[in-house]
Amino acid sequence: MTTRILTRPLAAIGRPVLAALASVGRMTLFAAAVFSHILRPPWYFREFTHAVMTIGWYSLPVVGLTALFTGGALALQIYDGSSRFSAEAAVPQIVAIGMVRELGPVLGGLMVAARVASSIAAEIGTMKVTEQIDALVTLSTDPLKYLAVPRVLAATLTVPILVAVGDSIGIMGGWLVGVNRLDFNSTAYLRNTIDFLEVADVGSGIAKGAVFGCLVALMGCYYGMHSGRGAQGVGKATKLAVVSASVLILASNYLLTELFFSA
């Protein structure tokens, strides 16, 4: 009896830990299965092109608007902070590196996660509830190959492009605020931005975008295919897909930053 009382708190802690580890293991196996199918035929180009349009082109407005206002707000904040040390001239350089290295990829990834992970999870979850996935199996079509692989591949390829476009728009937002609000010279602002940025800065942001896109699509597909029955199950899968994708984006962002810039 005494032993049971002592071990009860440990069991209460261990159950969620074991459940979390089991979930991570299932996600890892799912990701490995998706990656193993990418280079093996058949390839569904129609699904791939549709996913490119849905994930890439239709996400451009929200990513662009987010980057534009973030760049403008960043310029105002940096100017206010740097004015305390008489370093206002550093605003263009800091806005550029902040957008390209961190804010552009992370905010772009989070916006795509909010829009795309939820959409993928809801779409695939609804297909599971209405037994369309079972119909694919009946037609000798691998659901993983048909549903997950095109979306993961499309997100991995298109999100870096969104990040690059978002970086440009964010820097433009900082330029607009700097020239029209903070009285910077337009030519000098752009020159400082171009001279300060390096290829490694831009490349690291684009690499982050590829990783974030892959994570977003994987989470959407995973939770969609493991959705519970009914509308409640689809809603739960959608919520978990967005939350998991967002957390993984932030965690992987730190790991990638450590990898690229630890020196």
Residues 36, 159: one domain?
no
Q: In this structure, what DSSP letter does residue 229 have?
A: S
Q: Within 13 Å and on the Cβ side, how many CA atoms surround 108? A: 41
| 153 and 237 fall within a common domain | yes
Identify whether the C-beta of residue 219 lies closer than 8 Å to the C-beta of residue 115: no
Residue 5 has pLDDT above 70, yes or no: no
Return d(Cα 176, Cα 72) in angstroms, integer: 7
**Residues 136 and 238 reside in one and the same domain:** yes
Whether the pLDDT of residue 70 is over 90: the answer is yes
For residues 140 and 206, membership in a common domain is answered with yes
Q: Global pTM?
A: 0.89
Looking at the structure, do residues 24 and 79 belong to the same domain, yes or no?
Answer: no
Instruction: Give the pLDDT mean for 3-19.
Output: 70
Domains contained in the chain, number? 2
Query: What integer pLDDT is reported at residue 2 of this predicted model?
Result: 59
Same domain, 24 and 86: no
CA 71/CA 74 separation, integer angstroms: 5
The whole-chain average pLDDT of the chain stands at 88
Residues 111 and 183 in one domain: yes
Same domain, 78 and 143: yes
Same-domain status, 31 and 58: no
**Domain enclosing residue 195, as ranges:** 44-261
Euclidean distance between the first and the last CA atom of the chain, given in angstroms as a whole number: 55
Closest listed residue to residue 47, CA positions, set 165, 178, 188, 151 = 151
Q: Are residues 126 and 32 in the same domain?
A: no
Q: How confident is the model at residue 172 (pLDDT cuts 50, 70, 90)?
A: very high
Provide mean pLDDT across the span 76-84: 84
**64 and 194, same domain (yes or no):** yes
Residue 215: CB atoms within 10 Å? 27
Are residues 1 and 61 both part of a single domain?
no
Residues 156-165: tens digit of each pLDDT: 999 999 999 9
Average pLDDT over residues 25-41: 86
